[in-house]
Amino acid sequence: MELRQKGEESTIDASQPLTVSMNWTTAADFDLAAAYETTTGKQGIVYFGDRGNLEKFPYMMISEDKGVDDTGGDNEEELQIIRLDKMRYVWIFCWDYNMVRRGQSARFNDSDVRLTIIDVFANSVSVSIDTGDTGNVCCIATIDNTNPQQAKLVNYSQAGTLKGLKTLEQLFDVVRQFTI
């Protein structure tokens, strides 16, 4: 299944581990990240600066950074999610690292960034960025786990702007734009 347009959604089995793969060939240093909100309201993020942990909370982890220095080719970053039972939402982000550093618009519309979410049974859902918005960070998809019997994956495709990545609080300011 493929979610091509903003707002399209699919159900996913949030009771099983998931792998989120972000692939691109564009010559850009895109980075995968995930912000989350727990059932108790705690918020956090996993990204290249805090890759997460699979053996304890938040039970998700980002792979190594690819596409460094705007390297094109078969780039892939992965997010492993082992448990979602304590999560209300997980927002899956991509940002254009060099454009964040400069405070400039990203190259999303000129890229081929694609997310693929795969469960342990090899069921997959692909999500394409569908935004004409300018910005250098994009919330590509949301896992809405507010109904644990039927979690949803939604093509969110909303862009925002970071001006440098000096503190985690700057990143949370942009995340809050998407989560309010």
Which range of 9-18, 132-141, 148-157 scores highest in mean pLDDT? It is: 9-18
Q: Which residue has the higher pLDDT, 79 or 150?
A: 79
Examine the pLDDT at 149 and tell me if it is beyond 70.
Answer: yes
pLDDT at 180 over 50: no
Task: Report yes or no: 18 and 68 within 8 Å, Cβ to Cβ.
Answer: no
Which H/E stretch holds residue 107? none
Mean pLDDT comparison of 10-14, 100-104, 170-174, highest-scoring range: 10-14
pLDDT score for 55: 96
Tokens describing residue 57: 């909370």
48 Cβ partners below 8 Å, 6+ apart? 31, 33, 62, 65
- Residue 118: pLDDT above 80? yes
Measured between alpha carbons, how far is 180 from 175 in angstroms, rounded to an integer? 9
**Alpha-carbon distance 17 to 70, whole Å?**
31
Radius of gyration in angstroms for the set of CA atoms belonging to the chain, rounded to a whole number: 15
Please indicate whether residue 149 or residue 48 has the higher confidence score (pLDDT). 48
Please give the domain boundaries of the chain with CATH numbers for all domains: 2-179 (2.60.60.30)
